[in-house]
Structure formats: structure tokens, C-alpha cells
Chains A and B, each alone.
Chain A
């Protein structure tokens, strides 16, 4: 009876995993941004996880852009219907400060890197607070049209082309908020990168940045949704504009528009998961299980097959391959590729969490002038 021990082992294994699964919720609501981004997550994370856990279901919700307000409302109503929420770094900070997101123990809750490094080391700087489990690095950067006759064959080579309306006339598309614009304005006004926030912390520094923006104010179209700049570039409404790098990839590589990237002084941001605070045990167990699997080295690298955002783990980067449908190498399109990241800034969440309100007032007053 040689079969018996194997049989027993198998049945014990199924039994124990069955027990585990019984402790975990049978479905889970994941909130994300919708569109191409949600799609990349569904392909890279959700589908493999559901295939490995028959009978388990993921419900997709596309409310990430109002996640902070909704999570607070849910917490006040004491009825939390979300299990896992995709948010940007600064929002995660706010949620963590408000006690709306669960604090994580990264080395225990996440899988070690494929190269054996601990999660804390593997994620490195992207671990911006205790609640945030990063997935991707994205950047806000500029794209420009390559066929503007008024430019006489010249091409923007650095960030300050945005402020040079003589050489590069035409409309600019900038985000309707102070963040990032103030930094870029100061950089092109001769403030060195290391001194940026020191200068911005003084009222004169803010005036200086706004004065620099004043020089292009009449040429600016403001955007509030990330899709506006690519649309304006495609429509020739704007000749140069800022947006998220993935949107530009889409307009350049998938829509084949005559647009090129200007990576100079791109501003890095992280996007990742938070778990709402106060989930019941079975749902929490399920979320933690999902997180451990879907944020490991391979899964993070897989997401880059579907969208041009870089994985947040260092150990995932060598694994980034080709785009799933376009078949092009994705590494050169990653914001954190060394060739693209010669000069860059990282979104200063700490400084902005303190100053966003005040900057916003000044910026709005300046806009209305």
C-alpha cells in the first residue's frame, strides 16, 4: 500500500487549505481607477488569483478618484464595503493620518523579493508610510507635438522649453493645481533642485514661482483630468503639456500620434494599495492573502506588460518584458528607466501635506487675477 501515505498527505493538504479558505471571505471588492489601469491590474493580479482560488470572486469598483472622501464617509457610517483600495501616495498619507487605512507590517505581510531581499529593502523608498503598499512608479511629465511648423524644426530638449514661448510658441496644457507647477517654475527660474522646498517655504519663493508662471499664463490651458492633455495634443489644441507618463505612452504608441516624450524633470509618484481600517477578520485575512501574492516580484513585473508604469519593487525591474498586445519592449518606456530618469523630482508628500491648503489658496487667487 504505497499509495496510502501520499493519499493521506494530499487529503491533509486539501483539508488544511480548505480550512484556511473557510476562514477567508468568498468575495472581495477592489477599488481602482478604471480604464486601462484597472485592466492591467485585472490581467496581472485578479485573474491569476481567482484561477488559483476557485469559488472566490473579485468585484471591481472604479471609484479611486473619490476614495478618500468615500472611505471617510464609510468609516463614519461604520459600514465599510471596500476591501482593498488603489490610491496615490499623497492620498494614502491622508488616509493613514486620519486612521482610515490599516497600518501594515511590511516584512510580515508581504512576500520577500525573488532575490531574497526583505520587502522593506525591496520596496525601498516607495514605502512612504505605514499604510501604503506600493505597486507602481509613475511620473508626471511633458509630451510635445513633433510637427509644429512655428518651431522651425527645433525640438524641446529640457523642461524650460515649456516656459520658452519665443522658441516654442503655442498653447501649454498644465494641471490646475499648484503642485508640480510651482516646482517646475522655480527650476526654470534658476533655483537648484536641492533648494526647491526651502525656497517654496517662503512667501517670496511662492511669489517667484507664480511670477515665472505669469510669463506663460496666457498660453496655458488648464486640465483637471489626466486624459485632457493627450486629447489636446492629439487635437492640436496644445503643443506641449504635462500628464501621467502612461497616458502619453498611450497617445504615442497605441494611437500613433506625432507626439514625443520630454522626460526632463519628470516628477515621480507612487500608486498602490491601502486596506481600509476596521475590516472584519475573514475579509482582512482574504485581503492580506491577496496582497501577499499579488505584490510579489513576478506579479508586479507582470503589470508592466499592460501599461507603461514601472513596478515599485527593485527586484521586479529586470523582469519587465514586452507589451502584451503591441509586442514592444517596455523597459525604455518605464519612467524609472535610467535613460529617462537623468533629471527628476520625487513628489514631496511631507511638504505638500503641510502646505497644500495654503498653496491652493494662493494659486486659486493667482488664477483668478
Chain B
């Protein structure tokens, strides 16, 4: 059969494909600025941060000869490495001290074993005093007994590879040992507990926001314009107020000598010595964060509810439904999309919250993000922060997937 052709003799199929390709390129060019922007400021930094959670090149880069020499050493023999390894260590450290890298490695290894910081700080002086021709092993052992400790060498061997799962294990309250992976003693386990608490509290905050926000959104959508506008301002005003101001205001209200306790004592509901502890615990975090995140629930709910014609409810009732049936069977299903959007927005914001739990959470109301912040800005253990962040990100993605299965993400609507 003869092929369809355009006027200038090109097959139609080709011509259409060409036109479509042009269209695609044009569309791509249109979104290119945004795409590049997201790539540079979002995707690459996150990927870089995630890489840090497994990166361990500092050990083999600072001690290249030692790590190679340790490959043939078997920790199971319970014997110290041989003279050749100590010589390699001397050569490596001499170089590291010249480039002032030895203390950096000390900081890194101190995350795993307490005491490495000092050992490496001190070795700078020790190495410069060591003589050639005498056994380096003896000189190292004389300089500090840690060099004759099997644990030190086990540590070097465990952390020789360029990549490590050490940070992830630590983030799950576990530790690498020569005998395999072990759980930390109970007195040092913190992260699993924190992850569980973060998720539980975030879910609770989302639920509270829904319970409180749903009726407000309904009022906003159904009251006459003038009243609902006033109500809207009451919702938006706190939304526009600084987070810190709102958190501090809660402090003033909730503390033991605060407004709420004062009023209750004055009313005689509680005695002066029996003032309620409303802040610096989980309750404080719950109250403050529910208040702060409430607008993120109300606004999507409101925009969905506005699109539901009031005549549906009237129709249901005129057909004999009770108030409850009309709400539950007719109105509520139409708001599910708004609930979906509000819930996911609130939950994702809550799970990464940092400043409010820090200020009002006391000891029981802090989140995993508070530990991430600690590792980023205080302990400088960015590998650990990255591992915790990766786990948190994975958790959110898993929850998102579950959410998609249950609610269906295509049903979520912002209006």
C-alpha cells in the first residue's frame, strides 16, 4: 500500500513524529529552568548528603599503607599486628601529621571508640620524636598503650573499607564488632525509641488536627460570607505569625506558673501545690504542634468543602436521611480528598519538626530531628546525621506508599 505523504513528499508518520518531538523539546525547554533549579538545589545536595551516610574513605585515605597491611591480619588470632604494619602506620602518620590530617581521623574514629580523639592528637608529637632504625612497634607501644590494644587495631580493620554500614547500624542502636553486628547495651539505646516516638506523635498530631480542623473548615465553608471571612482571618493570623512567637506564647500559657495554671488555682479547681505539668513533656509538644499545624489541615479541607454544593445535603435529608446519615453517607465521602491532602501535609511537616519539640518538649517530647540537628551542628558527625536522615526519608516514603494503597494519592485534592 502506498504510504501517506505530506505535500512536500515526507511520509506522514515521520512528519508527525517530528512535530511531536519539537513539541516535547519545547515543553522541556519551558520547564528547564525549574528542572535545573531543583536538580542543583534539591536533588544533588540530598544525594550528596545521603552518600555521607556510607562514606568512610577518610580512614583508607589517611592510613593507606596501614589499611593495606592490615588486610592480611586476622583479629581472631588475638595477636598484635607485626612490625611491618607498625612501620606502615608510622609512614602514614608522618604524612598525615605533615598535612595536619591526623586529628581529623581521630575525630572520625572517636565516633566509634571513645579516646581516639586524644590518641591521634597526641600521636602528632609522638611520631616526630620516633627514631629510624629502632622497632616502630616498640616505639608506638612505649608512646601510648592504646597502640598495643587489640581494640584499636580491630577498629582500624573494621573501618578500613571505603564504604561502611557503621553509621546506619549506629542509627539503629547497633554496633560493629569483630564478632559481627551486636545491639548496644540498653543504657546506650536511643534512636529506635526516638523514631517510634516521632512517628507516633506525628500521627497523633495529625489526628488531633483533623478532629479540631474539620468542624472549623465546615463552618468556614458554610457560614455567610461576612462571618466566614472573619473566621478565616482568625485561622490565617496565627498562620502568618512567627513560629517562635507562637511557641513562646504557649510557654507563657502552659507553664506551671503560667496563665492556665493560675486561672485553675484561682477557680479552686487545683491546689497551689498541685499545679499541672502542661509543658516540657509530650503534652506540651502535642498542644503546641497541633496549634501550629492546624492551618495546614483547615485550608485544604476548606477548599474542598467549598466545592460541595449545599443542595446535596438538603436532597439527602428530603429523601429521608437523618442528619448523621446525610453527613456520613453524602457529605463526608466528598471531603475525603481534602482530608487526604490535609493529613499528608500535616504529617509530613510534623515528622520533620525540630524547633517546637526542642523548646516545649522537655525530655519526653523531642523528635528524631532534634538528634539530627545535634549531629549536624554540635557533634559534627555528619555521617550519623545523614544516616538518621536517610532512615527518616525512607520511613516517610514507605508511609506514603501505604497511604497511596489505602487512600489513593490520585484522590488527594487541594480544591
Contacts and interface: CB of A to CB of B under 8 A. Distances in A.
Interface of A: 65-66, 68-69, 72, 94, 96-99, 171, 176, 207, 221-222, 224, 235-237, 350, 353-358, 360-362, 364-368
B40 to A, nearest CB: 13
Contacts of B317: none
B363 interface: yes
Given A98-B103, A237-B255, A353 B363 contact: no
A355 B114 contact: yes
B121 A235 contact: no
A354 B115 contact: yes
A200 B271 CA distance: 42
A68 B377 CA distance: 7
Contact of A354 (B104, B110, B188, B377): B110
A360 B100 CA distance: 28
B68 interface: no
A98 B110 contact: no
B379 interface: yes
A360 B188 CA distance: 9
Given A222-B363, A235-B257, A368 B193 contact: yes
6 contacts: A99-B100, A237-B256, A354-B114, A354-B116, A355-B114, A362-B188
Contacts of A94: 107, 380
A224 B377 CA distance: 14
Nearest to B189: A365
Contact of A99 (B103, B193, B256): B103
Contacts of B383: none
A350 B280 contact: no
Nearest to B370: A224
A102 B261 CA distance: 53
Contacts of B362: 221-222
B364 A354 contact: no
A237 B117 contact: no
Interface of B: 100-101, 103-104, 106-107, 110-111, 114-118, 121, 184, 186-190, 193-194, 255-257, 280, 358, 362-364, 371, 374, 376-382
Nearest to A358: B114
Contact of A353 (B117, B187, B189, B256): B117
Contacts of B118: 350, 353-354
Contacts, number: 83
4 tightest CB-CB pairs across the interface, nearest first?
Answer: A97-B103, A367-B363, A69-B377, A361-B188
A252 B156 CA distance: 53
Contacts of B363: 176, 222, 367-368
A125 to B, nearest CB: 18
Contacts of B115: 354-355
Contacts of A98: 103-104, 107, 380
Contact of B110 (A68, A171, A357): A357
Nearest to A359: B114
Contacts of B380: 68-69, 72, 94, 98
Contact of A365 (B111, B187, B378): B187
A361 B374 CA distance: 12
Contacts of B100: 99
Contacts of B358: 224
Nearest to B371: A364
Given A237-B256, A357-B379, 12 more contacts: A69-B377, A94-B380, A96-B103, A98-B103, A360-B379, A361-B184, A361-B188, A361-B190, A362-B188, A364-B371, A368-B193, A368-B194
B107 A97 contact: yes
Contacts of B107: 94, 97-98
Contacts of A357: 110-111, 114, 379, 381
